[in-house]
């Protein structure tokens, strides 16, 4: 048996001794004695000391901290095969649909150049979309992401496509909906369940004064109060999906994130709500002063600070086979 190349044995000044294995994505807490045993095995290959405690030995084997020769390579080959199988799975189709590229907002950090494009998906394009889906004869499951532009500007297209998809002989697993929230009124909210929208993302960039400096209508008018009222209506409705509240972060609104996050938690307690930060990418923002964007180090510091201040999100790494970007899937469009 040998020490896994994917191990990290370390001491935390505050929490004690640990070993982390990236292959199994396992973090094991150690007492001082077992830490020293692993330290000797790592540095000198002292296998008898590790094997002296059968339960400890089994724990290390199960979590790939100690491995047989060639075991890691075999594990990686299996995982590569599993991920490739997911990428080339033709039974599932994931589609991102932009019913319009038009947007009623003019956010200064937006990376999309088509906000003033007034075009809306035509019936002919809808027909071609349905024909595209039908051509994938082996597809059994379908999921949609509604995107834009601002998809609420073409909500009738969302409704029309969904109704047509639900007549097809496949399992419609529902949809995700990305919106600025300004036009998400009670009438639209009442249709979310019927349209099988499972998650809905809305962006608020801080409390009202902060948000209204950053996310304005095409004419420059503020948007916070309207979005806030719509979110309140959504939370009071019978919709059973998850609301994702994204707060776009740069140097101008770091502290505002925590204020708004805490307010949202208080107002929506017990509901299916996730509040999370999004870094304003200096490489994408077209009309933004790039000096206000967080660099990689500042973004890391912010995430750590957010965690210390009670973020619901976990910083523990994910290592799931199914975390494959839709863009790399054979049937991802």
Asked if the model's pLDDT at residue 285 lies above 60, the reply is no
Measured CA angle at 281 (ends 279, 284), to 5 deg: 150
Residue 190 vs residue 313, higher pLDDT: 190
Domain ranges of the chain: 2-69, 90-328
Question: Are 233 and 94 within 8 A, CB to CB?
Answer: no
**CB-based contacts of 296-304 (< 8 A; 24+ apart in sequence):** 298/251, 299/249, 302/249, 302/254, 302/277, 303/277
Q: Give the best-scoring range by mean pLDDT among 21-25, 113-117, 268-272, 288-292.
A: 21-25
pLDDT in tens, 129-143: 999 999 988 899 999
* pTM given for the model: 0.79
> In this predicted structure, which of 29-33, 84-88, 162-166, 243-247 has the lowest mean pLDDT?
84-88
DSSP string, 222-266: --HHHHHHHHHHHHTSS--SEEEEEEEE-TTSHHHHHHHHHHHHH
Q: Which two tokens stand for residue 271?
A: 């509901």
Asked if the model's pLDDT at residue 333 lies above 70, the reply is no
The Cα 293–Cα 313 span in angstroms is: 22
Q: Which residue has the tokens 């809306």?
A: 120
The Cα 133–Cα 68 span in angstroms is: 47
User: What's the average model confidence in pLDDT over 281-296?
Assistant: 68
Q: Which two tokens stand for residue 327?
A: 């863009």
pLDDT at position 327: 65
Q: CATH number of 90-328: 3.30.465.10, 3.50.50.60, 3.20.20.70, 3.40.50.460? A: 3.20.20.70
* CA dihedral over 216, 217, 221, 222, signed as positive or negative: negative
């Amino acid at each position: 048996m040998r020490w896994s190349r994917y191990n990290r044995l370390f001491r935390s000044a505050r929490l004690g001794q640990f070993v982390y294995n990236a292959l199994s994505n396992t973090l094991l807490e150690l007492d001082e004695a077992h830490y020293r045993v692993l330290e000797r095995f790592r540095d000198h290959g002292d296998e008898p000391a590790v094997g002296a405690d059968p339960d400890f030995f089994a724990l290390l084997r199960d979590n790939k901290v100690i491995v047989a020769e060639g075991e890691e390579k075999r594990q990686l080959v299996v995982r590569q095969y599993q991920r490739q199988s997911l990428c080339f799975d033709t039974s599932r189709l994931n589609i991102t649909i932009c019913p319009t590229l038009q947007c009623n907002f003019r956010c200064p950090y937006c990376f999309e150049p088509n906000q003033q494009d007034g075009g809306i998906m035509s019936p002919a394009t809808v027909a071609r979309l349905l024909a595209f889906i039908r051509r994938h004869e082996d597809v059994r499951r379908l999921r949609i992401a509604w995107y834009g532009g601002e998809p609420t500007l073409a909500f009738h297209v969302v409704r029309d496509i969904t109704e047509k998809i639900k007549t097809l002989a496949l399992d419609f697993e529902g949809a995700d909906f990305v919106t600025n929230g300004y036009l998400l009124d009670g009438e639209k909210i009442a249709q979310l369940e019927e349209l099988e929208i499972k998650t809905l993302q809305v962006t608020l960039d801080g409390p009202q004064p902060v948000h209204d400096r950053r996310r304005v209508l095409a004419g420059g008018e503020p948007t916070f109060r309207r979005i806030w009222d719509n979110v309140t209506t959504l939370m009071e409705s019978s919709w059973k999906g998850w609301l994702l509240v994204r707060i776009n972060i740069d140097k101008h609104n770091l502290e505002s994130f925590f204020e708004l996050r805490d307010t949202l938690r208080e107002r929506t307690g017990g509901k299916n709500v996730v509040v999370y930060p999004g870094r304003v990418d200096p490489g994408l923002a077209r009309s933004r002063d790039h000096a206000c964007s967080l660099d990689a180090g500042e973004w890391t510091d912010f995430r750590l600070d957010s965690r210390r201040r009670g973020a619901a999100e976990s910083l523990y790494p994910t290592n799931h086979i199914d975390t494959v970007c839709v863009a790399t899937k054979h049937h991802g469009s």
